[in-house]
Structure 1
Amino acid sequence: MRLIGFSTGLLYTKESMVEHSKATRVLAYICAVILLPVYVSGPIAFILISGKRLSNADASTVFILAALVIGITYLCGKYFFLMVRFLRSLKTKMTYDDQGIALYKGSETKRYSWNDLKASREYASCQIFCLMDSSKTHLFSIWEYASGYREFRQKMYEEVGI
C-alpha cells in the first residue's frame, strides 16, 4: 500500500511499491566498484596471457583458447552492460496495481500497462529483472534485494506470465 497526501488528509491506494533502499544502493555501488574493472580487464588479461601461448600451440589448443577468449569476452561484456544499465535505474521507484506499473524518476512519472511489459526479461545469474516495453526499450532494472521485489514478481507472473 502506498500513502498519498492530499490537502484534506491522507488516502490509501492499492498500489504496491518497489524501490532500492539506501543500503541496497550502497551495496550495488560497492559491487560495481569491484566488478566493473573485472569485466573490463578480465578479457584483456586473458587475451594477453593466451596470446603468449599461441606461438607454441597446436591447432586444437588455438581453437580452445580462441573459444575461451570469445566466451569470456561475451560474458564480461554482457554483465558489464547489465550492471551499467542497472546502476542507471537505481534511484527509480516503481508502483504497480491491477492496471500496470508507474515509474517515478525525480519529478517524472511514466505509466505502462501489463501488456506493455511482455518483453521484460529475468537475468537469474545477475539476480536482476529488467522491465522492457513492447519495443524492447529498457525501463527499469530491479535487483532482487529491492523492497517489494518478491510481491512484484508474483504479480508480474500472474499478469504477464514472466
Structure 2
Amino acid sequence: MPHIGCAKACCAQARVSGHQEFPTCLGIHDTQTDKLLLIEATPAIESQVALLRELSGVDESHDLFDALLLTHAHIGHYAGLMQLGKECATTHEIPTYVTTRMGEFLTSNAPWSQLVEDKNIELQIIEPSVPFSPLNGLTVEAIEVPHREDFSDTIA
C-alpha cells in the first residue's frame, strides 16, 4: 500500500504520510546455519530482502538469500525475479522451488526464461503433499489451494 491508481482514503492517506505496506511474503532465517529462505519474490523484493537480512543479522558477505519458494504465477508473487538477473543482482544458481506448472511458466516466458538460461535461478520442481527441504533441517510440505490458476497452479 498504497496501490497504483487507488483513490480510496487508505491509499490517499498513505501517499500523504509516506506509510508503506509490502506485498505478501515470508522470510525464514535458520539461526543454526544463518541460511535464509525467501517465500515469494514480490515487486518489493529489494525492501523484502533488506528487511530479512537486517532482522536475521547476517553479515554483508552472505548471499542475498539461500533459497526461494514461489507459490504461483500472479504478478505480486514472482515479479521480483526480474531483479535477480544481470541488470541488478546477478545471482548465481539460487535454488528456486516451484511446481511443475510454475516451472513451465518460467522457462517458457521471457524475461523469466533468461534467469533460468543464465543460471541466476535453478528450478527445483516440487509436488504438492510431498515434503521437501529447501534448507538443511527445514522440511516444507506444499499444499494445493483453490485460487485463480491463470498461468500456473497455486500452492501454500
Q: Which structure has more RCO (C-alpha within 8 Å, separation ≥ 6)?
A: 1
Q: Identify the TM-score tier after normalising by the shorter chain.
A: under 0.3
Looking at secondary structure, tell me which structure has more helix per residue. Answer: 1
Query: What TM-score, normalized by structure 2, do the two folds share?
Result: 0.23
Bigger Rg over Cα:
1
